[in-house]
Amino acid sequence: MTMQTVSLNKSYGGTQGVYRHASRETQTDMTFSVYVPPHAGGARLPAVWYLSGLTCTHANVTEKGEFRSACAELGLIFIAPDTSPRGEGVPGDPANAYDFGLGAGFYVDATQEPFARNYRMWSYVTEELPKLVTENFPVDANRQSILGHSMGGHGALTVALRNPDRYRAASAFAPIVAPSQVPWGIKALGGYLGNNRQAWRKHDGVALIEDGARLSDLLVDYGDADNFLTEQLRPELLQAACEKAKIPLTLRRQPGYDHSYYFISTFMADHLRWHAERLKG
């Protein structure tokens, strides 16, 4: 696979790059960003994957996430994919809604038309892009972790729960923990996967835990001023599932914070240090 460099900028002694490639999974060009911290020649570095939320691209966290200082200090590569396929001929939501279609891929492989051809974000973020990144950047494939925000928090939880041998740690900012039980998730999973709710369970963090998937531990932050907290995020469902499964969960309620990148950037360094501890050795 070949990729095109869109931009390169030096930051905190490392390099922030944005790249584009033709994806076999989505049948479109896909753009992603990678921050590589300063490092000795020949070194292989631990990598943190970041999955973004509804309406976002790679650019939101790249420009507003405030992760580079901590990554440079901790020696972490930071990888940020897009949230959905884009381009001419890619179907969006007929009503132009923000929570389905373009910018709202939900990290699943769609089975329903007209989305099945392009909306293959699960295979893209778990198989195709990791292979491309490992071939082109100094990533230690045995030291990877994942985090995400909102829809991307849903993605991070499900990816980690279904791939426990690949990701040493998982955390999330304001994740959609049980998409099968909330409006955002019901719309997306139904639209992409059809009406068989049993098929939804492998893309639902709480359902995966109920069905036996496990993590060694988990860190989740949410703001108590988040407008989506009660209807869409439902962190209490994750708390109950983790308690029943005996998964150590650090669930932090942050007073006064909302759903925005002001919230994410405030606690980003905390999460990266938490990941770095689990990526040692």
Q: Which residues are catalytic?
A: 150, 226, 259
Closest CA to 209 of 178, 235, 168: 178
> Percent helix, strand, coil in the chain (nearest 5)?
35, 25, 40
Sign of CA dihedral 186, 190, 195, 201: negative
Query: For 174, phi and psi rounded to 5 degrees?
Result: 45, 55
The H or E element that residue 158 is part of is helix 151-162
**CB-based contact 32:19 (threshold 8 Å):** yes
Label residue 75 left, alpha or beta by phi (over 0 means left) and psi (-120 to 50 means alpha): left
CA distance 80 to 62: 7
**CB-based contact 174:156 (threshold 8 Å):** no
Helix/strand/coil for 9: strand
**CB-based contact 134:45 (threshold 8 Å):** no
Partners of 1 in beta bridges: none
Q: Is 154 exposed, middle or buried (0-12, 13-18, 19+ CB in 10 A)?
A: buried
**CB-based contact 55:61 (threshold 8 Å):** no
CA distance 225 to 9: 35
